[in-house]
Chains A and B, each alone.
Chain A
Amino acid sequence: MTWRRIAPWLILVIAVLAIYIDLPRKTLHIENLLPAPGLGGNAKTVLGLDLQGGIQVTLKVKPQPGQPLSPDDVEVARNIIEQRVSGIGVSEPQVHTEVSSSGEQRIVVDVPGVSNENEVRSLVGATGLLQFIDPKSETLTENQDITGLLQSGKVGVIFSGGQIQAGSVAPDSQNGVLGVSFKLNDQASAKWCTYTTNNVNKPGPVALDGKVITTPNIQSAICGGQTIITVGTGSDAEQQRTTLYNQLRYGALPVGLQEEGVTSVAPTLGAHFLVQALIAGAVGLFLVLLFMIGNYRLPGVLAAIALVFYSLVNYAIFRILPVTLTLAGVAAFILSIGMAVDANILIFERMKEEIRAGKTLGPAIEAGFNRAWSSILDSNVSSLLVASWLYWQGTTVVRGFALVLIIGVLVSMFSAITVTRTMLRWLVRREWGRRIELYHVER
C-alpha cells in the first residue's frame, strides 16, 4: 500500500529531474538560472564521430624488439597521443586502448569535428623517434627520407629525442626571432658540445621517424646542453614553431605503432545524418503513438504518456553517463521504443481478454498487469542477456548499440509497467475513467 502512495510522487520527481537534465542549457542560456544539483550539473549530449563528423584512427601497438609489451607502456603511449591531438578538433579527442579478439593491443583515436585526416594521422602515426643527425658528407634537405642512409651508416646519429630532458622543451623568442628551446641531459650534452664545436656554420639536421624535419645551421659551439632552434619571424614561423615544439615535446613513444584503419566523416555529412535520424525517429514515434491511441483508446493515451516519459528519462541517462550516441545507438533507441510499447501491448491485450471473460474493470486491470508480467520479464531478461554479452565482448560500435539497448530495456520495464499502472489506477478511481467504451473492448 505504501508503494502505491509513493509511486505517483516518485514518477513525478523522476520526470521533473529528467526534463531538467534534458534542457539544452547553452542554447537556452539558463546555465545559471537553475540551482545545479550534483546530478546532471554537467550533463551533455555526446555525439559519435558518425554524427558530428571527425576522424578515427586505429593503431596496432607493437612491442619493442626483445621486450614484452607492458600495460604501462601502452598507457604512456595513449597519453602522449592524447596530448598530441588535443586541441585540433571541435571537442575533446578520445583516445582509448582496446584488445582485439586475437589478443592484439590497439589504440583507437577519435578526433571529432575535423575533416583534415592527414593532420590527425601524421600526429598520431608518428612514433616520434627524434634524431639529431650527423650528415657527414651528405647534403640533407627537408622531408628527405634518410632511413636508408642511416642503415648504411652514411649519416650518423648524434643523440636521440630520449636525451632531451623531460619538461625542458619550451617555445622561445629572441629579439622577435621565434624558436624552440630545450635542454639535453649530460651524456648527450657532452657529445653535442664536441660535435657543434667541430661543425660551426654547418647544418645540424633533425629527423623524426627517419624523415628530416628541419636542417638548421649551427651558429656556434653549444656546450652545457641548453639549445635553441630558431625558425625565423612572421606568422609562418609561428606555425613552424608550434609544429617543432610539438615534435620535440611529445617525442618518443615507448612502443611502436602501426596504422590499421582510418575512418573519416565530413562534419557536414555527420550533421546531415543526425537530422535525418531525428526526423525518422520523430515520425516513427508519432506513428506508434497514433497506433496505440487508435487501437487501445484511453489506455493507449496512457501508454503514449508513458512513452514520452520513457524517452525523456532515456535521454537524460544518455546525458548523465554520458553515452556516446552513434547512428547504431540512435537505431537502438528507436528499437527500444518498440520494445517499451510491446510491454504495454501485452498488458492491454491481456486486460481486454479479462474484461471479455467477465471481469470488472479494476480487477481486469490488475489481472492484465499480473498475468503479462511473466512474459515481459522473460522476454526482457533474454534481451538483457544478449545486450550484456554484446557490451562485454563487442567492438566499440556494437558496445554503443548494446549500452543503449540495456538502458532502454531497464527504463521500459519501469515506464511501461509502473508508470502506466499508476496512471490507470488513478483513472479507475474517477467516475469518467470507468466508462467501458474508453477501453475499446470488442465483444
Chain B
Amino acid sequence: MYDIVGKKRWYFLFSALITIPGLIFVLLGGLKPTIDFTGGTTWDVEYASHPSQQAVQQALVALGHPEAQVTRSPLGGNLLRIRTAPVDLLPAATLAPSASLAPATASPAASASASATPKATPTPTPKASASPAVVPGTPFDDLEKALVARFGQATVRSVTTVGPIIGSDLIRSSAILIIVGELFILAYLWVRFGFRFGTAAIVALLHDVVVVVGTFAILGYLFGLEFDALFVTALLTIIGFSVHDTIVVFDRIRENRIRHAGEPFGAIVNHSILQTLGRSISTSLTVVVTLVALLLLGPASIRTFTLALLIGVVSGTYSSIFNASQILVAWSEWDARRKERTGLAGRQVRPLSR
C-alpha cells in the first residue's frame, strides 16, 4: 500500500514553502484593497477620443486629483478605470427641524383648485432642468464634465463611491465574520470529533486562508491585483469547502479506528486517506471545473472572487489530505514519544483520545 503518512515532513515543508513567501509579500504591503475598504470613487468610462491612461491621469492631476489612478478597466473594451479619493459625496446635509410629519399620502383629487385663491407666479426660469435635480452640480459632475471637455463624449458604465466610514466598517466586520466563522467550525468539530481533530482541522483552514491571502499579496505586489468586498465572502466559502474535505477524511479515520482497533494510528490514517482519495479528487475536479468556467466565461466583476475560490479549493483539498490528517499523526507520535520519555513506556499508549 502506498505510504502517504511516512512523508509528512515533506508536506509540512511544502506548505511552509507556499505560505511563507505569501506572508512576506503581505508584510511588504502586497495586499491592495479596493475602495470598498479604503473609501474613494471608482468609475469605468470610455471617452470618444480614446485618450491614453497617462493623458487622463495628467488631466486629473491638473483638476486637483493628484491621488488619481487610471488603469485599463477589467470590464474590457476601451474602458478606463479611474480611481480617486471620494469626490462625489453630497455636502453634509442640513438637519431637518423638528417637523411632525406623517408619511405623506397623496390625495391629488383634493379640492385645492378654489379659483379665488390668490396666486403667486414664478419668474420664468432661464433653462429647464431635465431632472428634478435639487442639487445641480455635484463635485463628481463637475469633474466628469471637465474630463468630457478634454477627451470627448463619455460613456460611464459604472460608478462607485464609498465613504471612509463604510470602508473602515467593512474591514472590522470582515475580520469579525472570518474569525467568528472559524470559531463556529472549531466548536462544531470539537463536539463531533474531539479536541485534536478540531484543532488539526482549524490549522488546515488557517493554512488555506493564508495561501489565498498570500497569493493575493504576491499578485497584488507584482501585478496590482486588488481585492474587494467579495474577497471576504470567498475566504468564508473556502473555509466551508476546506472543512468539507477535512471532515470526509476525519470521518473515515473515526470509522476505521473502530473497525481496525489495535492497528497503529499512522496506518489507520494512511488507509483512510487512500480510501477517500477518489472522492477528494473527484469532488475537487467538479468544483474546479465549474470555477474555471466561471473564471473564463463569467463576468469580469467577480473574476477576483472566482480566482480566490479556485486557489482556496485546491489548497483546501491539499491541506485536508496532507496537513490536517498528518498533523493528527504527528501529534499522536509526539505524544507517544513524550510518554515514553516520562516513563510510561510499558503501558498501552492509545494513539488518540476522543
Please tell me if B78 contacts chain A, counting CB pairs below 8 Å: no
> How many B residues touch the partner, as a band?
35 or more
B294–A118 contact, CB under 8 A?
no
> Which of B90, B118, B282, B301 has a CB less than 8 Å from the CB of A349?
B282
Please tell me if the beta carbons of A121 and B138 are within 8 angstroms of each other in the complex.
yes
Instruction: Tell me, yes or no, whether B343 is within 8 Å of chain A by CB.
Output: no
Q: State the Cβ distance, B180 to closest chain A Cβ, in Å.
A: 6
Interfacial residues of chain B within 230-247, with CB under 8 A of chain A in the complex: 230, 232-233, 236-237, 239-240, 243-244, 247
A83 on the B face (CB < 8 A): yes
Known interface pairs A252-B99, A338-B287; A262-B132 also in contact (CB < 8 Å): no
CA distance A379 to B189 in the complex (A): 10
Choose the segment among A8-16, A25-33, A203-211, A310-318 that binds chain B (4+ C-beta atoms closer than 8 Å): A203-211
Q: For chain A residues 119-140, which have a beta carbon within 8 Å of chain B?
A: 119, 121-123, 125-129
**Docked complex Cα distance between A79 and B118 (Å):** 33
Whether B95 contacts A346 by the Cβ 8 Å rule is: no
Knowing A64-B95, A382-B244, A385-B188, the reply to whether A231 touches B173 (Cβ < 8 A) is no
| Measured CA separation A232–B101 after assembly (Å) | 29
Chain A nearest CB from B145 CB (Å) reads: 12
A118 touches B133 (CB 8 A): yes
Q: Say which residue of A64, A260, A331 sits within 8 Å of B165 (CB atoms).
A: A260
Is B346's CB within 8 Å of the partner chain A?
A: no
How many of A's residues come within 8 Å of B, CB to CB?
A: 149
Tell me the minimal C-beta distance from B103 to chain A in angstroms.
4
Q: Is the CB of B188 within 8 A of A381?
A: yes
Tell whether, in the assembled complex, residue B229 and residue A397 are in contact, meaning their CB atoms are under 8 Å apart. yes
Q: Which of A217-225, A417-425, A428-436 contacts the other chain?
A: A217-225
Residues of A within 8 A of B108 (CB): 170-171
Q: Do A255 and B96 have beta carbons less than 8 Å apart? A: yes
5 A-B pairs closest in CB distance: A162-B99, A181-B112, A284-B290, A284-B293, A260-B163
Query: Contact at B177–A123, with CB atoms within 8 Å?
Result: no
B residues 259-279 near A (Cβ < 8 Å) are 275-276, 278-279
B106 within 8 A of partner (CB): yes
- Other contacts beyond A64-B97, A204-B120, A259-B93: 18, CB < 8 A: A102-B165, A104-B165, A125-B135, A167-B110, A174-B119, A228-B117, A228-B119, A252-B101, A256-B94, A328-B305, A339-B244, A342-B279, A345-B279, A349-B282, A378-B251, A379-B244, A393-B173, A395-B173
B102 → A minimal CB distance (Å): 5
Judge if B1 is at the interface, Cβ distance under 8 Å: no
A residues within 8 A CB of B236? 386, 390, 398
* Contact B230–A209 (Cβ < 8 Å): no
Q: Determine whether B14 belongs to the interface, using a CB cutoff of 8 Å to chain A.
A: no
Shortest beta-carbon distance, A233 to chain B, in Å?
A: 11
Query: Is A101 within 8 A of B169, CB to CB?
Result: yes
Q: CA A42 – CA B75 in complex, angstroms?
A: 35
State in angstroms the CA–CA spacing of A317 and B291 once bound together. 24
* A83–B141 alpha-carbon span in the complex (Å): 25
Chain B residues with CB below 8 A from A228, complex form: 112, 117-120
Q: B112 near A183 (CB under 8 angstroms)?
A: yes
**Taking CB as reference atom, which chain A residue is nearest B100?**
A162
Query: Which residues of chain B come closer than 8 Å to A260, judged between CB atoms?
Result: 89, 162-163, 165-166
Number of A-B contacts defined by CB within 8 Å: 384
Given A122-B131, A123-B132, A181-B112: A375 and B99 interface contact (C-beta under 8 Å): no
CB atoms of A222 and B131 under 8 A apart: no
CA–CA, A430 and B251, complex, Å = 34
| Proximity string of chain A (234-254) to chain B, C-beta cutoff 8 Å, 1 when within and 0 when not | 001001101100110111111
Residues of chain A within 8 A (CB-CB) of B161 are 261-263
Residues of B near any A CB (own CB < 8 A): 75, 88-90, 92-110, 112-115, 117-126, 128-129, 131-136, 138, 141, 156-163, 165-166, 169-170, 172-173, 176-177, 180-181, 184-185, 188-189, 192, 229-230, 232-233, 236-237, 239-240, 243-244, 247-248, 251-252, 255, 275-276, 278-279, 282-283, 285-287, 289-291, 293-294, 296-299, 301-302, 305-306, 309
Would A393 and B176 count as touching, CB distance under 8 A?
yes
CB-CB nearest in chain A for B182: A386
What's the least CB distance linking A320 to chain B, in Å? 24
The answer on a CB contact under 8 Å between A261 and B110 is no
A365 to chain B: closest CB distance in Å? 17
In contact, B104 and A291 (Cβ under 8 angstroms): no
Q: Assess the A374–B251 pair: CB atoms within 8 A.
A: yes
CB within 8 Å for A143 and B136 given contacts A162-B99, A172-B113:
yes
User: In the complex, which residues 265-306 of chain A have their Cβ closer than 8 Å to any Cβ of chain B?
Assistant: 265-266, 268-269, 272-273, 276-277, 279-281, 283-285, 287-288, 291-292, 295
A97 within 8 A of B: no
Contact across chains for A263 and B158 when beta carbons are under 8 A apart: yes
Cβ–Cβ contact A221 & B118, under 8 A: yes
Residue from B90, B188, B282, B305 in contact with A125 in the complex, judged by beta carbons closer than 8 Å? B90
A167 to B129, CA, bound (A): 27
* A138 → B minimal CB distance (Å): 15
